[in-house]
Chain A
Amino acid sequence: MVALVGPRRFGAVNWRGLATLCLKDLRRAIKQYRYSILGPVVSNLLLLTVFTLAFGRATAVVGGLDFLQFLVPGLVIFSICERAYETSSESLLFDKMEGMIADTLMAPLTPIELTIGYACSAAATGLITGVAVAVPMLAFVHLPFASLRLIVFFAVAGALLHGLIGIIVGLWAERWDHHAAALTFLVIPFAFLSGTFYSIQSLPAVGEQLARLNPVFYVIDGFRAGCTGHADGSTTIGMVVVVVVLLLLAALAHRLFRIGYKIKP
């Protein structure tokens, strides 16, 4: 009697498929390390240099921190978020344009698994880039690392948040300019105007109120609070806002995968 090879049995969650999907994007990012990791390291060191030189000898103090201590956490969390966004959106868009998205859709992965897989691999790539950006900077700037709990929470939450935005943009975009437009007109302005480089207390009153409505502000502020102990806003409110937005975006990404928005006929 010939033993037939049966279909693989798995329970409620296809763990192997999920792990494979996660590793796929992570490996892709590591393979292109010059672009995905070294690029951000160099451009952030440049920004650090430029800001230091632009200040000259003027020693500005933001909330008891010297300016570089204030700036470095902003640059690190921004590079985490940007890389997470680009990882998931570029992966989905590239696969769509090349027709390879079928390889992901054909596999026995539920919409929940797709959402988790893309979001987690994007977040992991973002965090690796963040570490690579942070390490050389720590040679120049002393950070007290006030709360490891806040650092980890806001780094992971910020990375997941942008990984989910990347999924939504990657599904929506049909050409590379759509993806670039979302980065230029949405992701970068949200981050730059939310206290990456300056304390929102230096904004006019209206700007400060607007910044407090922006979830990305809480990500940056909370991460900075973890690194330096100084927060412009409340980290508790920040955690609540970020978790709520994460759940909303996850629900939206899940729904898009479930209806096959722009990926299934």
Chain B
Amino acid sequence: MNRTVANDPALPPATLAPAPRRIGAVNWLGLWTLYLKEVRRFVKVATQTVLAPLITTLLYLAIFVLAVGGAVHTVGDVPFPVFLAPGLIMMAMVQNAFANSSSSIMISKIQGNIVDVLMPPLSAGELTCGFALGGVTRGAVVGAVMWGVMRLILPLDVHSLFFVLFHAVAASLMLALLGIIGGIWAEKFDQMAAVTNFVITPLSFLSGTFYSVGALPRFWYFVAHVDPFFYMIDGFRYGFTGHADGSLAAGLIVLTVVNILLWALAHALFARGYKLKA
């Protein structure tokens, strides 16, 4: 019998090779590590991930108020800048939530270090959760910073904290999940740029960020009401201004259902190893 560390009688039992870590139903340590990785990744380049969206959003606010403000003073009974601000905050939040999970997964795939995420004992559910919460965190940080800065120049008080928080979290989660799906699907940077340019940006621009959908022609008014992006902007705006274009209850239901479906899809992709495992 070969002498090994494990069976050597000369060695005290304390030096036995360490047993594998026991993991219960959820690998909390692994999940927490993945989440921290996702958060540290964007915090390290905060100039690009927090400051840059802030500047871009303030620019949009300035140019829309300067260009449109002369002609449109109020939307409903809300001053135009106050109508615009929640839409802009929401747009920045969802774009950043999407960018976080999609770029993380795609860059890892291209550079080959995705194995560092696939090898550890993380289940498909834990992977989905870690990446999604990382995106939600970036969305929330971006949104909170923007709200803090815009409050200095606009009377942007919270009307209903529940609607603000629900829509902030639900919208960031939805886009973070879409980011996971996009990141797993895309194989090249220009495919990802195409998703951002042709899907995410148009949906967030055209879903009532800049105008009340009540002003839309009949057909587009209808389209807006089946568009989850419309509900997240509308409900978030209601949380600040108390003014909603659509039904708030319908928004809560639509966002919850869409999030469940996207979560299931992201989970299924990780479980199958679609484009991730041989």
Contact = CB atoms under 8 A, between A and B. Distances in A.
Q: Which of A32, A38, A184 has the most CB of B within 10 A?
A: A184
Nearest to B45: A177
Contact of A181 (B52, B72, B193, B201): B52
B10 interface: no
A39 B189 CA distance: 13
B158 interface: no
B46 to A, nearest CB: 10
Interface in A155-197: 177, 180-181, 184-185, 188-189, 192-193, 196-197
B64 A54 contact: yes
Interface of B: 45, 47-48, 52, 55-56, 59, 62-64, 66-68, 70-72, 190, 193-194, 197-198, 201-202, 205-206, 209-211, 215-216
Given A35-B190, A51-B67, A56 B48 contact: no
A203 interface: yes
A55 B193 CA distance: 29
7 contacts: A34-B194, A43-B197, A60-B70, A184-B55, A197-B66, A198-B67, A203-B66
B67 A39 contact: no
A197 B69 CA distance: 12
A19 interface: no
B224 to A, nearest CB: 11
A54 B72 contact: yes
Nearest to B47: A181
A5 interface: no
A139 B67 CA distance: 23
B251 to A, nearest CB: 21
A46 interface: yes
A198 B66 contact: yes
Nearest to B65: A198
Contact of A56 (B70, B197, B211): B211
A94 to B, nearest CB: 11
Contacts of A51: 67-68, 210
B206 A49 contact: yes
Contacts of A34: 190, 193-194
A63 to B, nearest CB: 13
Interface residues of A, number: 36
B196 to A, nearest CB: 9
Nearest to B49: A177
Interface string A38-50: 1100110011011
Q: Which of A38, A53, A203 has the most CB of B within 10 A?
A: A53
Interface of A: 32, 34-35, 38-39, 42-43, 46-47, 49-51, 53-60, 67, 71, 177, 180-181, 184-185, 188-189, 192-193, 196-198, 202-203
A208 to B, nearest CB: 11
A43 B71 CA distance: 24
Given A43-B201, A46-B206, A197-B66, A185 B52 contact: yes
A181 B198 CA distance: 23
Nearest to A185: B55
A184 B56 contact: yes
B167 to A, nearest CB: 21
Contact of A55 (B48, B55, B72, B198): B72
Contacts of A59: 71
A261 to B, nearest CB: 23
Contacts of B71: 55, 58-60, 67
Given A32-B190, A185-B52, A196-B63, 20 more contacts: A34-B190, A34-B193, A34-B194, A39-B197, A43-B201, A46-B201, A46-B206, A53-B211, A54-B68, A56-B215, A60-B68, A71-B67, A184-B52, A184-B55, A185-B55, A192-B63, A193-B62, A193-B63, A198-B67, A203-B66
B48 A180 contact: yes
Contact of B202 (A42, A58, A185): A42
A198 B190 contact: no
Given A46-B205, A55-B68, A58-B71, A197 B63 contact: yes
B31 to A, nearest CB: 29
B184 to A, nearest CB: 20
A58 B80 CA distance: 13
A139 B212 CA distance: 25
A192 B66 CA distance: 11
B32 to A, nearest CB: 27
Nearest to B194: A34
A202 B210 CA distance: 20
A188 B56 contact: yes
B190 to A, nearest CB: 5
A180 B52 contact: yes
A202 B63 CA distance: 11
Given A42-B202, A50-B206, A56-B72, A189 B48 contact: no
Nearest to A180: B48
